[in-house]
Amino acid sequence: MAADPSLGAIRFRTMGGLDLDNVVKIETESYELPWLRRTFEDCLTASYECWIGELLGREEPDDIVGHGILHVKADEAHLLNICVKKQSQGCGFGRDIVGYLIERAKAKGAKTMFLEVRPSNGIARELYDSVGFRQIGIRKGYYPALKGREDGLVLALSLDGD
C-alpha cells in the first residue's frame, strides 16, 4: 500500500545526534521494549546508515514519521531497526522506509539483506513478506520479552534481482 496521499510523501535524510530525542520518543511510544538512546548513539558512532523519514515540505520535529538503521559490510546488509511513529502507522510509511533502505543497500553493493523479526510482530512480518523477504532461520531467545525471551525469525532478501 502506498502512503496515504492526504499525509504527503516522505523524504529521507541522515540521522544526527540532534535527532535522538525525537527518535527515542518515537521508539518508546511504538514498542514495548524499545532501543535505548545509547544503542542509537552507538549506531551513529559506528557510521551505520541511520535515516530519518519526514513528511516532504515540512521542517518541524513532529513531521518525522519514522526512522531506519542499516549496516552494510562487504556484500551483506543488515536491517537493524525500523520504526514508524504510532500516529503514522498504517499509512504505508513502513514500506517506504524499508524500500529506501533496500535501495541504499543495493547502492552500497550488498547482494543480500538480512533482518530479525519477532514472531509476535505480525504487521512487520507481513510487510517483510510483501517485499520479498523469506525466512531462513530462527535465533532462539534472541529478543528480550516482558516475560523471558522471544525467538527471532531470520529473514533474507536477495538484492541481485530487479
Among 48, 49, 100, 128, the active-site one is 128
- What is the spatial distance between Cα 70 and Cα 114, in angstroms, rounded to a whole number? 10
Cβ atoms of 43 and 50 closer than 8 Å = yes
For 23-56, b/e burial (b = at least 16 CB within 10 A) is bbebbeebeeebbeeeebeebbeeebbbbbbbbe
Among 76, 116, 142, 143, the active-site one is 116
Catalytic site includes residue 150: no
Catalytic site includes residue 49: no
Cβ atoms of 105 and 24 closer than 8 Å = no
| Residues designated as active site | 116, 128
